[in-house]
Chain A
Amino acid sequence: MKEILIISGKGGTGKTTVTAALGDIAAKNKHIVLADADVDAANLELLLDPKIEQTYPFIGGKIAVIDRTSCIACGRCEEVCRFDAVSHSTEDTYTIDSAFCEGCGACVHQCPVEAIQIQSHQSGEWYRSSSSYGPLLHANLFPGEENSGKLVTQVKEDARTYGKEARAEILLIDGPPGIGCPVTAALSGVDSTVIVSEPTLTGFHDMKRVKAVADFFKIPTQLVINKSDLNPQIQKEMLGFADEIGMRLAGMIPYDEKIMAAQLQNRPITRSLPEEYLPLFTQMWIEISAGSNHN
Chain B
Amino acid sequence: MRPTLTPIPGWHKSMVITIASGKGGTGKTTVAVNLAHTIAQDNQHSTWLVDCDVEAPNAALFLQPTFVEEVPVERLLPVIDNEKCTACGVCVHACQFNALAIAGGKVLFFKELCHACGSCTLVCPEDAILEEPELVGMLQKGYSGPLQFAQGTLEIGFSSPTPVIRSLKKWILPEQSNDIFLLDASPGTSCPVVETMRGSDYALFVTEPTPFGLHDLKLVAELNEKEFQLPAGIVINKSGDNDAEIEQFAQEKDLPILMRIPLSRQFAEAYSSGKLLVEEVPALRSAFLDLYRSIHRDVTKENR
Partner-B contacts on A (CB < 8 A): 8-13, 16, 38, 40-41, 43, 46, 62, 80, 82-84, 99-100, 102-106, 109-110, 118, 141, 143-146, 148-149, 176-184, 198-203, 205-206, 209, 212-213, 216, 227, 230-231, 233-234, 255, 260, 263-264, 266
Contacts and interface: CB of A to CB of B under 8 A. Distances in A.
Nearest to B156: A212
A100 B122 contact: no
Q: Which 4 A-B pairs have the closest CB atoms?
A: A11-B24, A12-B25, A104-B117, A178-B55
21 contacts: A9-B55, A9-B56, A40-B189, A41-B24, A41-B212, A43-B212, A80-B122, A82-B117, A106-B118, A109-B94, A109-B119, A143-B189, A143-B190, A143-B222, A177-B24, A177-B186, A181-B160, A202-B58, A209-B55, A234-B273, A264-B242
Given A102-B115, A143-B189, A202-B271, 17 more contacts: A8-B24, A10-B24, A13-B25, A38-B188, A40-B189, A41-B212, A41-B219, A43-B23, A99-B198, A106-B119, A144-B227, A178-B56, A179-B55, A180-B55, A180-B161, A201-B61, A231-B272
B274 A201 contact: yes
A276 B31 CA distance: 36
B269 interface: yes
Contacts, number: 185
Nearest to A10: B56
Contacts of B226: 143-144
Contacts of B219: 40-41, 143
B115 A104 contact: yes
Contact of B122 (A109, A149, A179): A109
Contacts of B10: none
Contacts of B53: 178
B151 interface: no
Q: Give the bracket for the number of chain B residues in contact with chain A.
A: 35 or more
Interface in B79-130: 94, 96-97, 115-119, 122-123
Given A84-B166, A231-B272, A146 B191 contact: yes
B154 A263 contact: no
Nearest to A110: B122
Contact of A263 (B94, B159, B210, B272): B210
Contacts of A233: 273
Interface in B47-65: 53, 55-56, 58, 61
A109 B124 CA distance: 11
Nearest to B27: A12
Contact of A102 (B117, B187, B268, B273): B117
A30 B198 CA distance: 47
A40 B122 contact: no
Contact of B94 (A105, A216, A231): A105
B159 A231 contact: no
Contact of A82 (B118, B195, B198, B272): B118
Nearest to B192: A180
A264 B211 contact: yes
Contacts of B265: 230, 255
Contacts of B187: 11-12, 41, 177-178
Contacts of B56: 9-11, 177-179, 202, 205-206, 209
B96 A231 contact: no
A183 B227 contact: no
Nearest to A230: B272
B157 A41 contact: no
B159 A180 contact: yes
A255 B268 contact: yes
Given A230-B269, A231-B272, A234-B273, A106 B122 contact: yes
Nearest to A42: B215
B140 interface: no
Interface in B1-50: 22-26, 29
